Every structure is written in structure tokens, then in C-alpha cells.
Structure 1
Amino acid sequence: MDVDHQTLSLGEFEFACGETIPELEVAYETYGEFDGDNAVLVCHALTGSAHVAGRGRFEDSDQAFAWWDNIVGPGKAIDTTEYYVICVNDPGSCYGTSGPASTNPETGEPYGTAFPPVTVGDWTEAQRAVLDELGVPHLHAVVGGSVGGMNALDWVKRHPDHVERVVAIAAAARLDSQCLALDGIARRAITTDDDWNGGDYYGDDRPDPDDGLALARELGHVMYLSKATMEQRFGRRAATREYERAFPTDPAGRFFPYRDVESYLDHNATKFVDRFDANSYLYLTRAMDNYDLSSGFESDADAVAAFDGEALLMSFTGDWHFTTAQSEELAESFRETDTATAHHVVDSDYGHDAFLVEPDRVGPPVADFLADGVGGSAVSDTTDDDDGDDGPDHAPVHTSLFS
């Protein structure tokens, strides 16, 4: 697979909050060859990176794992022999793009919490600037999952004339109050860690707020799995003897078993703190929490009204982070503007992370939609819809949910 990993300077950059930094460095990767009209922008999720595909290339670094290698690549759903795929690391992150851990060129010290607050809109504008530098004026499609799906929706809102097709997977127009609450607790876990030190913990002589970041990540993992999947995978089993507790416990806790589910969360959190920055976690979760598709417009439909392409929304029945009902609301907003729209509901118990781990269910609709729009055989059905015609204007959805 032809892959190019680069870092680009966009010069002075003004964020939506009105603050500027003298130089925004942006890490990005491209896959395949550009032929003028085959560009596909992939927007990564919260703690992802530009390294969307190509396992094994960053084994010795802290770069995020090739997080969608089962979807992006030669002969895969987003086929890099047909499409020119671009993935850009978001401002505020810690995988090559400027963020709190980056050095402020004016002081020679890490920005820390002096880095400007970031928004999903800032991600979109940074991506647009990278595409301009690459000579890509127009996108065949923009694709994203989770908050990456929000980023994809933001493209339709901000640059409707630059996109032919949009794919938002396991996403929503905004977070609900339960998710806002859990994200708030996760941030408190970080900011109440004594080692956070007001965000000033960089340097060899200072410990990182690993315990707070680990707890924040554990909350995230609970949000990404469904109740059914957690029961199937862990139940009430105790962890096997070789697993040691990753966190201290009270003396009475030694009398009780260290559960398999606790061990799983602790293990993944321990790996995560080795590769991610606590301040970046604060910044990125706030960007996600703040996003509202309708901001600046009267409604979600009004926000996407200028888009005249096609839209695919995909959701998973076991996902309580971004629900099928929220995806259907998005689909209805697109339909209000007469946009050719499909809402593909996947019957899955896995939970929110299904878009990452179930390629056999995600890949076919995405591939067909990129090739043929809502008329793709794996995207739309051919049964009579509520509107009385035989056309495939609605994707396969569970009638028990939406009819």
C-alpha cells in the first residue's frame, strides 16, 4: 500500500475561540493516488491518529495503532487502489499535530493549558487547510466514526460544496446529558490527580497524572461497550492469579476477588497512559462535548440544507453512547432537505466500538455507498417504504424501531 506520513506547518492559526498560535503543525497520512476526483477524507475518533491503516509501521513509537486497518487498504471497503485517502490528526491531540504537549515556539516550553481551547470546527478548518496544501479542492467523500462522524457532519455544514458524500458512523448531532456527565467525571479524574499540577506536568522531573488519565480511560471503555457484551465477556468472574491489581485497594478489598472486568479495564488503561497525553484528553473531550450540529442555525436540517450530495448514517443497536434513535434523527434532518439519505442499522450487541471491530458489518455498506451512493446493494433495501414508492430511499432499518 502506497502510504505517505507527513507533518505540515499551516503557519499562524486562529481557533474558533479567537486565540491564535504562531504555528500549527499538523500530522497527516495519505494512501493511494490522487486522480482529481477520488479523494476520501477519514476523520478519526477521540484518541485516534492520522495512522488509520498499515499495521506494523509504528511498532516502536507512541503512534496510535492502525485503528481502521480492517476498513482502509487495498481491496478493502475504502479501497486505496481506487481512492486517495487522507487522514489528519486533530489539533489538540498528541500524535504529531500541535496540542498542549507541543512546544510553544515563543517560550520554548510546552503549551500545557495555555494552548487555546479547540473545537470540532477547528479540526474541520485544519483539514481544509491541509487539503488545500495537497491540491485537493473537492472530496468524493468524508467518512468518520464516533466524534469523527461529528467531524464529517461538520464538513457538510461548513463546506457543503466541497463534499459529494458523507458517512457518519456511530455518531450524532450532539451528545446527550448522560454522556456529558460521564465525560465530566472523566475530566475530574484527571484534574484532581495531584500530579496534574494545573496542567503543568511536562519535563523529566515531574510525574504525569497517570492515575487520573487511566481512570478517565476506564470510564471511556465502559461507555464503548454494551451491557450485553460486558456480561458475555466478563460476567462476575474473578481475574486469574497472574493478574495483579493495577491500582491500590483498601485493606478490606483484599478479602474480595479482583474481577475479570476490573482487570480488563486496568490493563487497557495502563497501556493507554503510555501513549496519550492527559491534557489532550481534556481538550478533545471538551471539543466533542461542545459540538452541536445546529449551532448557528435554526435546526439540524437548516445546518445541512446547503448540502446537495448523499448521506449515509450507520448505527448499532447495542450502542448507548450514540444511539440508533440519534442516527435516525440525523437521517430525518437530511431527508427534510431532500438529500438522498440512507440509515443503515446494524443489529449488534457489541456497543459503540462496533464500528472498529466488526468490519464484516461496517465494510459492505461503506464500500457500496462510496461506489454507488444510496443505491448500493448493501446500503439500501428494495422493499416498499412508507412513502409508497419502490425506490431505495431508506436504508435497511428495523421497522420495530422507526415505523
Structure 2
Amino acid sequence: MLQEIKISNFKNSSGNSQDIFLTYQIFGRELGSAPVILVNHALTGNSSVTGPHGWWNEIIGDGKSIDTQNFSVLAFDMPGNGYSGNSTHLIHNYKEFQLRDIAKIYDEALRILNISEIFAGIGGSIGGALLWELAALNPELIKNVIPVATDYKVTQWVKALCKVQDSILNNSNNPISDARMQAMTFYRSPESLKQKFDPTTQIQPSGNWNIEGWLEYHGKKLEDRFQLASYKLMNHLLTTIDISNNTHDHISSALKIKGNIHIVTVNSDGFFLANENWESYVNLSLSKKNIKISEIRSIHGHDAFLIEHAQIKTILDPIFHINKNKHEKDTHCSLRRG
């Protein structure tokens, strides 16, 4: 059930104040009866992390890696993402916000919900970057920080891609569809698309399905369920990832986090590059002992964290105290760990 919190007169990074409406859902045990797991969604995602319309049903649910019989699973909708359907809650002054503002909003919402400790926080892509921001803002809040296919800083590469997205969103006649089609080209990898559409490599026949039709399908699908203002906001927030709060000392900011850090990267990620994550891990591990890194081995690029469920389970099960025996013979699991 979608619930709502109103945060009055929130002051954003530009110094302007406005009311913020934050929707959320709770799955599994009720709050106060079990450890809390915070799940942050990606750019076009939402708070429906499990259930009839759940986007991560393979990972979250009864008996799954994040077991709703043992945990209270909390998922917020990033403010302005439009999932509530209330157009008055959209954020049109999107360039006044930074991702750190969203972390502050989450932190305030957790206070309102009387949550002072989170057993684990997990998020993919921008959701993982938001998790970094929240952990840096409140270093003792999260006992296990699990950022997936993301980074604690924005790179020039991400800025470049987001600049193109912003230009499409503000100038195209079909902004959502066109921007989504372009984004799919860096969410996946050339190898992934070759496997899916090259007649000589297809695992299953695709009939008349081709790369052009696949891109158009994803563009139209997002156009049917997502607001232009939401896309502009989320794309802009990607360009503001910076746990150093403009000091450029990301290492020092990350080292303030008290909880265990479990970085999950994707070897073929063409958006948040794996070598950036490995460099961060090496630098942090020189001073922080409770940090690990796992690498998903996949041809599918950035979206692998939504595709390679067996590998994700293998990474998460030890963190959530799930029996690993069922994965020991899984030939699809190929992980590199540090």
C-alpha cells in the first residue's frame, strides 16, 4: 500500500524552500518488529520492489535473498518520480536539487518513521548512488551499505551521457521515448545486443523482433508510464552525485561511514565503469577493513544487476544470512571478489 509523508518547507541546495511529498511502501514485517532493509530504486523505478508489480521479485520476497518473513523492507519513491500519480507533486525546478538533497529528505523521512537503524541498504544505479549519499550524510545509520552498479561520484563520462539525455528531453518532439531509446544503448553492451539480435548468435528465435523495434518498444513503454518532469529530474540528479559535498575528497567522506560496505560492480558496465569501483575499493580498503567488492560477470552491461539474478543472490545471501548451499552448483555464478 502506497503511503505518503509530507516534508514542509524543505530547503534545497539552491536555498529555495518548498513542500516535498514522499511516497513509500513497506513489505514483509511491520516496522518495529524486525530489522529494516532500505531498497532504493533506479532512474525509472519505483517503490514496488516486490509483489504483483515488483521489479525485483527474484531477490525480495518470502524465502528470497531479502526475505520478507524476516525483515521489514522499506522502499521510498524518489520525490518527483511521479509514481503516486499526483501531478502537483512533480518537481519542475529540477536544476535546484542535488542528490544530496534527496538523501536529506530520506533521512528526515526515516526520522518521522522512527527508524534510527537500518540493517542493510541496497540500491542499483542512481539508487545506489543515493545510498552512498545517505550513508555519508548519516554515517552510523546503515549497518550494511550495498551500492550496486553505481559510484559515489559523478564521472565526466556520466556527465556527458546525461548532457545528451537532457538535450533530448528538452528539444525532442518525443522526448521521453527518444531519450529512453538512447539510454538503452548505454544501459546494455554491444555484446548483449549482439546476443539478443544477431541471427548467428540468438539463443532463441526472435521472429520479426529486431533492434529497432526493441528500442521503440522500450521508448513507448516508458512514455506510457513516466512523466517528462520526472525524467528531467532524475537525469539531472545523476550529474550531482558527490558524497564529498563539493570538497572532492570522496575517500575521506566514504571513510566516515561506520557500517560494512559491500560494493557490487559489473565488469561490462558502460555507464558506471567497473574500474572506477575497483579503484575506490582499493583506496578505501587501505584504511577501512570492513569493505568488500564483488563483480558480476556478464555481457549485459549496466542492466546486468536487473538480469543476473543468480549472481546477485550469491552476493547477497551471506549478508542476509541465507543458506548458500543451493547456489554451490549454480554454473551461472561467476564472481570476482576483493
Contiguous gaps of at least 5 residues in structure 1: 56-64, 104-110, 195-210, 244-259, 379-395
Matched residue, 1:344: 294
Partner of 1:58: none
**Matched residues, percent identical?**
21
**8 Å contact kept, 1:44–1:145:** yes
Q: Does 1:321 align with 2:300?
A: no
Specify the code of the residue in structure 2 equivalent to 1:179.
V
For residues 303 and 224 of structure 1, the distance between their equivalents in structure 2, rounded to whole angstroms, comes to 28
Residue in 2 that maps onto 1:173: 152
Distance in 1 between residues matched to 2:6 and 2:278, nearest whole Å = 39
Partner of 2:336: 397
| Cα deviation code 1:44-68 (max 9, x no counterpart) | 111111111112xxxxxxxxx5221
The alignment partner of 1:113 has SS state of: coil
Q: 1:8 to 1:295 in 2, by over 3 A?
A: closer
Could you report, residue by residue, the CA deviation over 1:154-186 in whole angstroms, capped at 9, with x for unpaired residues? 122100011111001111122332332222112
CA deviation after TM superposition for structure 1 residue 136, in Å: 1.0
Q: Secondary structure at the match of 1:355?
A: helix
> Which stretch shifts more, 342-351 or 332-341?
332-341
Secondary structure at 2:45's aligned position in 1? coil
Hey, what's the Cα distance between the residues in 2 that align with 1:73 and 1:312? 21
Q: Does residue 262 of the first structure (1) align with residue 182 of the second (2)?
A: no
**Does the C-alpha gap of structure 1 residues 129 and 97 become closer, same or farther in structure 2, counting only changes over 3 Å?**
farther
2:50 to 50, 53, 66: 53
- The amino acid that maps onto 2:294 is H
What SS class does the counterpart of residue 274 from structure 1 fall into? helix
**Are the aligned partners of 1:72 and 1:78 in contact in 2 as well (CA < 8 Å)?**
yes
Match for residue 213 of structure 1?
A: 176
Normalised by the length of structure 1, the TM-score is: 0.74
**TM-superposed deviation, 1:126:** 1.7
Structure number, greater radius of gyration: 1
The number of aligned residues is 324
**TM-score where L is the length of structure 2:** 0.88
Q: Give secondary structure in 1 for the equivalent of 2:44.
A: coil
Whether the 8 Å contact between 1:137 and 1:162 is mirrored in structure 2 is yes
Q: Distance in 1 between matches of 2:97 and 2:141?
A: 23
Identify the residue that residue 26 of structure 1 maps to in structure 2: 22
* Alignment partners' CA distance in 2, 1:36 and 1:329: 39
Equivalent residue in structure 2 for 1:96, among 62, 84, 88: 84
Query: Residue 282 of structure 1: CA displacement?
Result: 1.2
Asked whether the 8 Å contact 2:95–2:236 carries over to 1, the reply is no
Does the Cα contact within 8 Å between 2:2 and 2:25 map onto a contact in 1? yes
Aligned partner of residue 92 in structure 2, secondary structure: helix
CA contact (8 A) 1:6 1:29 kept: yes
Residue deviations 1:327-383 (CA, integer Å, cap 9, x gap):
1123224313324111111211111111112211102211212339xxx979xxxxx
Q: How does 1:353-368 map to 2 (within 5 A)?
A: 353-368=303-318
Aligned with 2:250 (options 295, 300, 305): 300
Measure the CA separation in 2 of the matches of 1:282 and 1:298.
Answer: 25
Distance 1:29 1:112 in 2: 21
* Map of 1:190 onto structure 2: 169
Residues 286-321 of structure 1: per-residue CA shift (max 9 Å, x gap) = 111121233344522200222222110111212111
CA distance in 2, matches of 1:285, 1:158: 22
What are the equivalent positions in structure 2 for 1:226-265 lying under 5 Å apart? 226-235=189-198, 260-265=210-215
Matched position secondary structure for 1:215? helix
SS state at 2:129 partner:
helix
Q: Which amino acid aligns with 1:89?
A: D
Distance across 2 between alignment mates of 1:324 and 1:116? 28
> Which among 33, 38, 41 is matched to residue 35 of structure 2?
38
Residues in 2 aligned to 1:371 and 1:156: alpha-carbon distance in whole angstroms: 22
Structure 1 residue 8 displacement after superposition:
1.9
SS in 2 for 1:156: helix
Structure 2 letter corresponding to 1:268: H
Inter-partner Cα distance in structure 2 for 1:125 and 1:273: 29
Partner of 1:137: 116
The alpha-carbon distance between structure 1 residues 331 and 113, as it changes in their structure 2 partners (threshold 3 A), is same
Match of 1:388 in 2: none
> CA-atom RMSD, angstroms?
2.6
- Out of 140, 149, 154, the position equivalent to 2:133 is 154
Alpha-carbon separation, structure 2, partners of 1:305 and 1:296? 16
Shift of 1:193: 2.9
5+ residue gaps, structure 2: 201-205, 326-334
- Give the Å deviation of 1:114: 4.2
Q: Is the 8 A contact 1:28 1:86 kept in 2?
A: yes
How has the CA–CA distance of structure 1 residues 97 and 168 changed in structure 2, closer, same or farther, with 3 Å as cutoff? farther
1:289 has 2:239 as partner: yes
